[in-house]
Amino acid sequence: MAIVIQGFSGPFIGRLGPAVGYMWKRRNCVRSYREHIRYPNTAQQREERDWFVGMVRFAAEARQVLKLGLARQAAEAQMTEGNYFVMRNKQHFVRHEGSVQVDYSQLQLADGPAADVYFRTPRFEEDETVVVDFEKNGSLFHSSSEDRVYLYAYAPSLAKGLLSAPVPRRRKSVAIRLPEAWNGLEVHLYGFVVDREGRPSRSTYIGMGRVDHYQYHGAFVPLNKNWSEFVDMASEANAEPHTTVPAEAPTEGRVPTIDLFGDPPEVP
């Protein structure tokens, strides 16, 4: 809306149709109105925007982890934890043929002087619980049994992450319960340590797997408890859930039982 100063034909200030009136060095001036395009849609600009949005979205989802793992370095660099993560990891978000590819194995979610641990191969237990055993790093002596060990799981297809509850180093095992909605999805696992002084260790990329379960009598049962076989299954596009229940041990010497919720037993 424009404000007319001296009658209908006089100078004006503000937008009037395709023209904009303004004052410059006490002079009344007019310029053409240029519409501001907030999100340009050229291919290169869309690719650049998607690249930046992908990094920021990952950092925003992992903000709890970054506060534990990158707070000290971010404070020294006078940045937020999210901005520091982007600066450290932007080379692992690669623009390729109109899309953004992420090398999740190279992402650093934590870094510091605390003694880390050796994470072993993950395994699935009942439901969607992932358990990872760990051992003390023999080359590092300055550690405490009270140091806290964390797991972080990230599902790229949902852009969602989940941080485990901390366990003391003396437990030698840490677990995380994944949501049922993650069944069939690719999941990346990270681990790190925070010592008694709040200093983190360097994060470790534990590996990638896929959560595959079948439902048996209302309970979710893992197809296999070995994480490495889940990694192999993730690479097979046609892998289908196997619903065969393992056979029970021989019943010699005990009375056989009947499952009231299953199929009736066959008559010999």
pLDDT in tens, the chain (268 residues): 455 565 555 676 777 777 778 777 877 787 777 766 666 677 777 778 888 888 999 999 999 999 999 999 999 999 999 999 999 999 999 887 777 889 999 999 999 999 999 999 888 776 678 899 999 876 666 788 889 999 999 999 999 999 999 999 999 999 999 888 887 788 999 999 999 999 999 999 998 887 766 555 445 555 555 554 444 433 343 334 434 344 444 444 443 333 333 444 444 4
Q: Are 31 and 19 in contact (CB under 8 A)?
A: yes
User: So what's the pLDDT on residue 183?
Assistant: 79
Helix (H) or strand (E) run with residue 123 in it: strand 123-124
Q: What is the DSSP letter of 225?
A: S
User: So what's the pLDDT on residue 141?
Assistant: 61
Please state, in angstroms and rounded to a whole number, the distance separating the CA atoms of residues 223 and 240: 10
User: So what's the pLDDT on residue 265?
Assistant: 43
Q: For residue 37, what are the contacts with CB-CB under 8 A and spacing of at least 6? A: none
Alpha-carbon Rg of the chain, whole angstroms?
Answer: 29
User: So what's the pLDDT on residue 221?
Assistant: 52
Q: Are 220 and 213 in contact (CB under 8 A)?
A: yes
User: So what's the pLDDT on residue 75?
Assistant: 93
**Domain at 117-234: CATH code:** 2.60.40.10
User: So what's the pLDDT on residue 136?
Assistant: 82
What would the DSSP string read from start to end of 59-106?
A: HHHTHHHHHHHSHHHHHHTTS-HHHHHHHHHGGGEEEETTEEEE-GGG
Please state, in angstroms and rounded to a whole number, the distance separating the CA atoms of residues 194 and 72: 12
User: So what's the pLDDT on residue 234?
Assistant: 38
Question: Where are the chain's structural domains?
Answer: 3-32, 43-106, 117-234
The angle at the Cα of 212, spanning 209 to 213, to the nearest 5 degrees, equals: 145
User: So what's the pLDDT on residue 247?
Assistant: 41
User: So what's the pLDDT on residue 264?
Assistant: 43
Instruction: Pick left, alpha or beta for residue 242 (phi over 0 → left; psi -120 to 50 → alpha; otherwise beta).
Output: beta
User: So what's the pLDDT on residue 199?
Assistant: 93
Measure the N-to-C terminal CA separation of the chain; round to a whole number of Å. 91
